[in-house]
C-alpha cells in the first residue's frame, strides 16, 4: 500500500488507491482535510490538526501554522520549551495522516507519494522527503502538485499539445502551472505564483472592512492585540466560507462574554477583496509568457485549492480567461487524489511507465560575463542565462563565448543561480577556469555546457575547441552555512549600491523596472532588454543631463511598448 499525501501549507490530506479509484481517508474527526497545524499545551502535550488550530486563539497554548514556508531552511519554530524545524513539524502532520490510514485499513502504511509545489527546489524537496522518513514513511516519489492535479482530473490521458492551466489558490499561497502531455510524459511547462496570497488574506481583508461596524465600542481593543486578531480572523474565516454557499452571512464573535455580530453580504466581501482579486492576474500572465502559450490554446483551466471555492474568485477567473473553469474534481481533494493515483501506478509496475513525471528547473542557471558598452569600456558582472527557469529537466545546454582580451591566457566563469540581471543579485555556486592559447581578442572560442538533473546536480563542462582542452566540474547541493555567507555578501552588495553616486530616484526606479522586466522575460527578449539597460547605464555614466533625460525617455517608451504586448 502506497498512500498519497498532499502536504499543504494550510491543510493536508491523505488518499488511497483501492485498485480502481483513489479515495480520501478521513481523520479522527471524520474530516477529509487535516489542518497543517501543531500546538503544544502547557503540560507539554502536542496537538496536530484541527485540535491545534482551535488552540490558536487560546492564551495558554502555542501553535505553529504555515511552517511549509520554511521547508528546507534552518529556521527554528518555537513551540513551548522546544524548537522545531519545518520538516520536523511536517513529520508530525504526516504521522497523523499515516495513523488515520492505519485506523481505517488496520495496517500501518510504510510507503508514500508526497506532493510538493512545482517551484520547490532540491533542498525543499529533500526536506520533504526527510519529513516523510521522520514519520516512518519511505517516500517512493515526490510529485509536483499540478501534476497530481492533472492525474486527478484525468488530464494525463490527454493528447499532446493540449496544454492546460492549473489554478491553485490555497490558504496562503497562489500557484499557477501550465501543464502539457508530451510523449506520454506529464510536463510542467511553467509555474509562477504569489507565495503571499491566499484565503488568509481574504480573511484579513474582510475583518478589516467590518471591524468598525462589528465592534463600535472597541471591546476588541481592550484585549491583547494578538488574541483580538486571532478571534477576528477566525470569525472572518467562518463567514467567508458561509458566503461561498449563500449571498449573506453573519460575522460573529464573543468578547468578554459579550456577543458581537454583523451581517455581511457577498458584495461586501467582493469590495474588500478587490485588491487581492487584481493580484491573481500577474502570475497567470507570467506563466503563459514563460511557456509561450496563449490563453486561446489552453484546453482547460482547472481549479485546485480551497480558496477557489469562493464565488468572487471564480468570477474573477472566468473574467480573466473568458471561459468557465473546470472544477469537476473537488478542489480541496484533487492533489491528494492525484498522489494516490500515482501511488497506484507505482505499485502495479505495469502502469508505472505510462505516466512519468518530469520536473522543471525552478530557477535560471548561468555564468557571469563581460560586455562592451559601446563607448570603449567593458561592463562586467552581467548574468548570462544558460538554462532558463522552467526548462524541463534533465536538460543540457551549451553557450559559445569568445575571449575579450588580446593574448588573454585564462578565462574564468562564475557559476550562478537566480533571476537578477547582475550576478551580484544571484547565488554564486562556484567558478570554473580554463587556460586559453594566446591569440587576438575574439579569436578563441570557449564552449560552456550546463547539464542539470532533477536531483539538483549541476554539471559544468568548459572546453576550448581550438586546443581540445576541457574542464568538468560538478556542483552539488550547498551547505547551509555557505548560504548564510552568500546572503551576507548579497546584502553587503545591496548596501554598497545605495551609496552609489548614480543614485537618483527616477532613474533608479526605471532601472529597477527594466531589471524586473528582464527577470520576467526569457530568451531573445531578455537579450534585447539587457542591451537597453546597458545603453541607459552608459548614459547615466556620462553624467550629461540631457543625454540622461533622453535615454530615460527612450527606455521608458520601450518598456511601455513591451508591457503592452502582454498576452492578457
In the numeric block, which cell numbers belong to residue 530?
539587457
Q: Which residues contact 366 (CB under 8 A, 6 or more apart)?
A: 383, 384, 385, 386, 387, 415, 416, 417, 450
* Residues 417, 427 contacting (CB under 8 angstroms): yes
Q: Which of 2, 3, 8, 152 binds ligand ADP (CB under 6 A)?
A: 8
Minimum gap (Å) between residue 217 Cβ and ligand ADP: 28
* Residues 403, 410 contacting (CB under 8 angstroms): no
Q: Which stretch binds Mg ion (CB under 5 A): 162-170, 367-375, 431-439, 507-515?
A: 162-170
Per rule CB under 6 A, is residue 200 in the interface with ligand ADP? yes
Q: Which stretch binds ligand ADP (CB under 6 A): 7-15, 37-45, 205-213, 553-561?
A: 7-15
Partner whose binding site includes residue 385, from Mg ion, ligand ADP, none (CB under 5 to 8 Å by kind): none
> Residues 19 to 58: which contact ligand ADP by CB under 6 A?
33
Per rule CB under 6 A, is residue 240 in the interface with ligand ADP? yes
CA 416/CA 423 separation, integer angstroms = 7
Per rule CB under 6 A, is residue 173 in the interface with ligand ADP? yes
CA 486/CA 425 separation, integer angstroms = 10
* Residues 47, 67 contacting (CB under 8 angstroms): no
Q: Which stretch binds Mg ion (CB under 5 A): 111-119, 168-176, 202-210, 381-389?
A: 168-176
Per rule CB under 6 A, is residue 210 in the interface with ligand ADP? no
Judged on CB neighbours under 10 Å (0-12, 13-18, 19+), 24 is: buried
CA 416/CA 453 separation, integer angstroms = 16
Minimum gap (Å) between residue 307 Cβ and ligand ADP: 4
* Choice between 117 and 418, CB closer to Mg ion: 117
Q: Which of 117, 146, 163, 170 binds Mg ion (CB under 5 A)?
A: 170
Q: Which of 109, 117, 146, 171 binds ligand ADP (CB under 6 A)?
A: 171
CA 15/CA 13 separation, integer angstroms = 7
H or E segment to which residue 433 belongs: strand 427-435
Specify the DSSP class assigned to residue 307: G
* Choice between 170 and 414, CB closer to Mg ion: 170
Q: Which of 113, 307, 336, 514 binds ligand ADP (CB under 6 A)?
A: 307
* Choice between 37 and 220, CB closer to Mg ion: 37
Sign of the CA dihedral 373, 378, 379, 381?
positive
* Choice between 308 and 417, CB closer to ligand ADP: 308
Q: How far is CA 551 from the centre of its chain?
A: 35
Partner whose binding site includes residue 307, from ligand ADP, Mg ion, none (CB under 5 to 8 Å by kind): ligand ADP
Per rule CB under 6 A, is residue 124 in the interface with ligand ADP? no
In the numeric block, which cell numbers belong to residue 499?
551609496
Rg of the chain over Cα atoms, rounded to whole angstroms, equals 26
Per rule CB under 5 A, is residue 8 in the interface with Mg ion? yes
Q: Which residues bind Mg ion (CB under 5 A)?
A: 8, 170
Q: Which residues bind ligand ADP (CB under 6 A)?
A: 8-11, 33, 170-173, 198-200, 237, 240-241, 244, 305-307, 309-310, 332
Amino acid at each position: 500500500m502506497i498512500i498519497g499525501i498532499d502536504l499543504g501549507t494550510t491543510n493536508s490530506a491523505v488518499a488511497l488507491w483501492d485498485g480502481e479509484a483513489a479515495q480520501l481517508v478521513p481523520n479522527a474527526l471524520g474530516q477529509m482535510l487535516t489542518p497543517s497545524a501543531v500546538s503544544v499545551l502547557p503540560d507539554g502535550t502536542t496537538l496536530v490538526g484541527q485540535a491545534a488550530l482551535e488552540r490558536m486563539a487560546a492564551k495558554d497554548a502555542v501553535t505553529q501554522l504555515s511552517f511549509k514556508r520554511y521547508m528546507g531552511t534552518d529556521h527554528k519554530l518555537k513551540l513551548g520549551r522546544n524548537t522545531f524545524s519545518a520538516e520536523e513539524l511536517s513529520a508530525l502532520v504526516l504521522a497523523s495522516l499515516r495513523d488515520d490510514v492505519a485506523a481505517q485499513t488496520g495496517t500501518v502504511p510504510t510507503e508514500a507519494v508526497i506532493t510538493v509545489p512545482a517551484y520547490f527546489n532540491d533542498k525543499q524537496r529533500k526536506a520533504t522527503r526527510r519529513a516523510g522518513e521522520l514519520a516512518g514513511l519511505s517516500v517512493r516519489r515526490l510529485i509536483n502538485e499540478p501534476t497530481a492535479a492533472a492525474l486527478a482530473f484525468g488530464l494525463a490521458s490527454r493528447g499532446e499539445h493540449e496544454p492546460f492551466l492549473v489554478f491553485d489558490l490555497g490558504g496562503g499561497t497562489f500557484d499557477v502551472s501550465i501543464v502539457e502531455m508530451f510523449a506520454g510524459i506529464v510536463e510542467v511547462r511553467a509555474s509562477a505564483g504569489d507565495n503571499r496570497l491566499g484565503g488568509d488574506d481574504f480573511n484579513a481583508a474582510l475583518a478589516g472592512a467590518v471591524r468598525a461596524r462589528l465592534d463600535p465600542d472597541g471591546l476588541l481593543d481592550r484585549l491583547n492585540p494578538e488574541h483580538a486578531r486571532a478571534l477576528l480572523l477566525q470569525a472572518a474565516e467562518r463567514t467567508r466560507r458561509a458566503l461561498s454557499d449563500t449571498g449573506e452571512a453573519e460575522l460573529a464573535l464573543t468578547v468578554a462574554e459579550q456577543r458581537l455580530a454583523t451581517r455581511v453580504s457577498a458584495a461586501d466581501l467582493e469590495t474588500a477583496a478587490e485588491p487581492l482579486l487584481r493580484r491573481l492576474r500577474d502570475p497567470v500572465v507570467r506563466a503563459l509568457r514563460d511557456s509561450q502559450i496563449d490563453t486561446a490554446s489552453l484546453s482547460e483551466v482547472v481549479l485546485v485549492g480551497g480558496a477557489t471555492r469562493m464565488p468572487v474568485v471564480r468570477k474573477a477567473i472566468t473574467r480573466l480567461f473568458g471561459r468557465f473553469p473546470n472544477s469537476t474534481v473537488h478542489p480541496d481533494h484533487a492533489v491528494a487524489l492525484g498522489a494516490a493515483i500515482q501511488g497506484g501506478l507505482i505499485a502495479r509496475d505495469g502502469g508505472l511507465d505510462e505516466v512519468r513525471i518530469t520536473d522543471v528547473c525552478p530557477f535560471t542557471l548561468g555564468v557571469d560575463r563581460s560586455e562592451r558598452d559601446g563607448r570603449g569600456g567593458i561592463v562586467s558582472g552581467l548574468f548570462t542565462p544558460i538554462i532558463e527557469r522552467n526548462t524541463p529537466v534533465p536538460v543540457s545546454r551549451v553557450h559559445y563565448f569568445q575571449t575579450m582580451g588580446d593574448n588573454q591566457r585564462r578565462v574564468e566563469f562564475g557559476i550562478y543561480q537566480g533571476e537578477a540581471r547582475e550576478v551580484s543579485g544571484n547565488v554564486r555556486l562556484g567558478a570554473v577556469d580554463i587556460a586559453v592559447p594566446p591569440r587576438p581578442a575574439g579569436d578563441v572560442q570557449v564552449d560552456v555546457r550546463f547539464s542539470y538533473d532533477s536531483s539538483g546536480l549541476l554539471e559544468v563542462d568548459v572546453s576550448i575547441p581550438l586546443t581540445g582542452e576541457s574542464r568538468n566540474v560538478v556542483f552539488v547541493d550547498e551547505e547551509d552555512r555557505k548560504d548564510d555567507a552568500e546572503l551576507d555578501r548579497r546584502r553587503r552588495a545591496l548596501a554598497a549600491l545605495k551609496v552609489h553616486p548614480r543614485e537618483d530616484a527616477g532613474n533608479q526606479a526605471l532601472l529597477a523596472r527594466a531589471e524586473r522586466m528582464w527577470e520576467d522575460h526569457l530568451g531573445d527578449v531578455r537579450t534585447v532588454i539587457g542591451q537597453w539597460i546597458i545603453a541607459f547605464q552608459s548614459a547615466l555614466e556620462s553624467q550629461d543631463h540631457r543625454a540622461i533625460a533622453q535615454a530615460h525617455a527612450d527606455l521608458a517608451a520601450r518598456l511601455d511598448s513591451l508591457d503592452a504586448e502582454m498576452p492578457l
